[in-house]
Structure 1
Amino acid sequence: MSAPGLSAVAESYQTFNPRAYLQNNYMPPRANFASEDFVVPWKLGCLAEAFATGEIYGRTLVDIGTGPTIYQLLSACDFFEEIVATDYLEVNRDVIRSWVRGEEPGAFDWSPYIQHVCKIEGKGEPWKEKEQKLKKKLKKIFPIDVHQPNPLGSLLGQPADALVSSFCLEAVSPDRQSFDRALQNVTTLLKPGGHFLMIGALEESYYLAGEAKLRVVPVKEADVREAFAKSGYHIRNFRSYIMPPSLKIGVDDVQGIFFVHAQKSST
């Protein structure tokens, strides 16, 4: 990252605490699987339905800004030969490596997520099988800087067939212009005609992860649509989720969540 605004963002992430972030966002009350009205099942449902169309498949899927989470890859693992995780922070890449290897005692328990995805996909797949499938395909975990014109350097080799990203670009961009540029940068990683599934925060200005208070560029639905259009995408599906008062728990000021399925122009 460069420029004063980007440098400040990079510095603020040096105190990012993955365990605190997971506690704040991926434990109850937000991770309540009793109803699709809760935010976590809503996100998992959006992803499952997108992949269920059978249109999004190929050799390589790249996750932009994986963080310390794997839920966003669960429905994808049936449709790609390899899944590439990426993150700016070594501490997050370590969390993903540890999960893949099953090394870390007391690691975050993703089994309720995997069980829920198996349930909504309706294929009768045992959740342990899905877990092992994802671990087997998640062999590459790369550093990324979405503010660079070539965010992965020479690591990728050839363009990806699809991208996913959750709560990344708006959370590492100091302003709308940086958000738009970051989207344009990561779009270079995607082949023409490829699909991009993104989940992000609506009208959020900060979130907490332990000692870290991370600033977020507040975006509205219209901002996200405009950014994708400028980057050469056709939006196939756009959904919004309004965060209910019961899930506003003081760890951020997010007002809602967006899900977008966009397809890159084939020309």
Structure 2
Amino acid sequence: GRGGGSVINSGLAPAAAPGQAALREGYEHFDPRAYLRNNYLPPRADFSSEEFVVPWKLRCLAETFASGEIQGRTLIDVGSGPTIYQLLSACDHFEEIVATDFLAVNREELGRWVRGEPGAFDWSPFIQHVCKIEGRGEPWQDKQRRLRQRLRRILPIDVHRAEPLGAPLRPRADALLSAFCLEAVSPDRASFVRALSHVGTLLRPGGHAVLLGALGESFYLAGPARLPVVPLQEADVREALAAAGFALRELRSYAMPPALRTGVDDVDGVFFAHAQKPVGMGR
């Protein structure tokens, strides 16, 4: 996802950080179709080699969910953007998936795919690839059907509010997933840590968090929108998770090869993190 989280401040400081105002402005022009073209068609979505970025992301997710440790009733995806690839391995382990995004255009794009409407983005190459790497010999149509059945709610979210969904999630989610959202809606690292803490409240103590995000990225394009991103290094991700009260289980990173540096952003790489909310944490 991207265009996730939010771009409206909590309302506590009306003149909030100029960074937030710039973000809010940028996301008004966010074009989901341009974003999908830039990131989820070739060259980035090339399945001919595991060395490409999309297969790398899908493999991280497949391997992490294959352990069977991350499962339960509900998984919440924070800042889904217009994408569903991040849910393909997760969907087998939860009864319900809650997708969320700040932007109505992204929620509409997701709804079109869930309903199988003509003109929805074609995720079938992604679903086929995930079925292949999971190696269960499952027809990809079965996985597509399962995800559509389990993706029951697509909700508005604002990760800069202490209550990101506007009300507590009851019961809290057993797992939280977030892909390319928090760093893309935070003007600085402190704001990234706060957003992580806010979304952490949606997760039950003992619950797992799986994050994908950009490393060393300062902007990305989505049609007419040029959106600022807080550039993170691996160390920043470790520190932010610790500061937000998560115990890091695994951190992997991917260096973007020159052929995939297409000018739609200035990303250096991608991080994948698996963390857990300690059981002793009341919030």
TM bracket (short chain)? over 0.9
**Aligned partner letter, 1:31:** A
Give the 3-state SS of the residue equivalent to 1:139 in structure 2.
Answer: strand
**Aligned partner letter, 2:207:** G
Tell me the residue number matched to 2:256: 243
Tell me the residue number matched to 1:221: 234
Equivalent of 1:82 in 73, 76, 96 = 96
In structure 2, how many angstroms separate the alpha carbons of the residues matched to 1:51 and 1:77?
Answer: 9
Per-residue CA distance 1:44-85 (angstroms, 9 max, x = gap): 000000000110000000000000000000001110000000
CA RMSD of aligned residues (A): 0.8
Equivalent of 2:22 in 1, 4, 8 = 8
**Does residue 146 of structure 2 align to residue 133 of structure 1?**
yes
In structure 2, how many angstroms separate the alpha carbons of the residues matched to 1:207 and 1:232?
Answer: 29
Give the 3-state SS of the residue equivalent to 1:15 in structure 2.
Answer: coil
Per-residue CA distance 1:160-189 (angstroms, 9 max, x = gap): 000000000000001111101000100000
Q: Which moved more, 1:254-263 or 1:148-157?
A: 148-157
Per-residue CA distance 1:139-158 (angstroms, 9 max, x = gap): 10000000000101226322
Tell me the residue number matched to 2:193: 180
Give the 3-state SS of the residue equivalent to 2:20 in structure 1.
Answer: helix
Equivalent of 1:159 in 172, 181, 190 = 172
In structure 1, how many angstroms separate the alpha carbons of the residues matched to 2:100 and 2:146?
Answer: 19
Please list every run of 5 or more consecutive structure 2 residues that lacks an aligned counterpart in the other structure.
1-7, 10-15
**Does residue 265 of structure 2 align to residue 252 of structure 1?**
yes
In structure 2, how many angstroms separate the alpha carbons of the residues matched to 1:128 and 1:224?
Answer: 36
Give the 3-state SS of the residue equivalent to 1:10 in structure 2.
Answer: helix
Q: Do 2:246 and 2:277's aligned partners in 1 also have CA atoms closer than 8 Å? A: yes
In structure 1, how many angstroms separate the alpha carbons of the residues matched to 2:21 and 2:163?
Answer: 18
**Does residue 39 of structure 2 align to residue 19 of structure 1?**
no
**Aligned partner letter, 2:159:** V
Equivalent of 2:247 in 234, 245, 252 = 234
Tell me the residue number matched to 2:135: 122
Per-residue CA distance 1:221-251 (angstroms, 9 max, x = gap): 0000000011111111110000000000010
**Does residue 81 of structure 2 align to residue 67 of structure 1?**
yes
Per-residue CA distance 1:193-235 (angstroms, 9 max, x = gap): 1100000000000000000000000010000000001111111
In structure 2, how many angstroms separate the alpha carbons of the residues matched to 1:65 and 1:203?
Answer: 20
Tell me the residue number matched to 2:49: 35
Please list every run of 5 or more consecutive structure 1 residues that lacks an aligned counterpart in the other structure.
none
Question: What pairs with 1:183-198 in structure 2 (closer than 5 Å)?
Answer: 183-198=196-211
Q: Report the Cα offset of residue 7 of structure 1.
A: 2.7
**Does residue 104 of structure 2 align to residue 113 of structure 1?**
no
Q: Do 2:168 and 2:202's aligned partners in 1 also have CA atoms closer than 8 Å? A: no
Q: Report the Cα offset of residue 6 of structure 1.
A: 1.7
Tell me the residue number matched to 1:212: 225
Equivalent of 1:93 in 98, 107, 112 = 107
Tell me the residue number matched to 1:171: 184
In structure 1, how many angstroms separate the alpha carbons of the residues matched to 2:76 and 2:265?
Answer: 27
Give the 3-state SS of the residue equivalent to 2:121 in structure 1.
Answer: coil
**Does residue 85 of structure 2 align to residue 52 of structure 1?**
no
In structure 2, how many angstroms separate the alpha carbons of the residues matched to 1:252 and 1:213?
Answer: 9
In structure 2, how many angstroms separate the alpha carbons of the residues matched to 1:155 and 1:202?
Answer: 31
Q: Percent identity of the aligned residues?
A: 67
Q: Which moved more, 1:93-102 or 1:2-11?
A: 2-11
Give the 3-state SS of the residue equivalent to 1:62 in structure 2.
Answer: strand
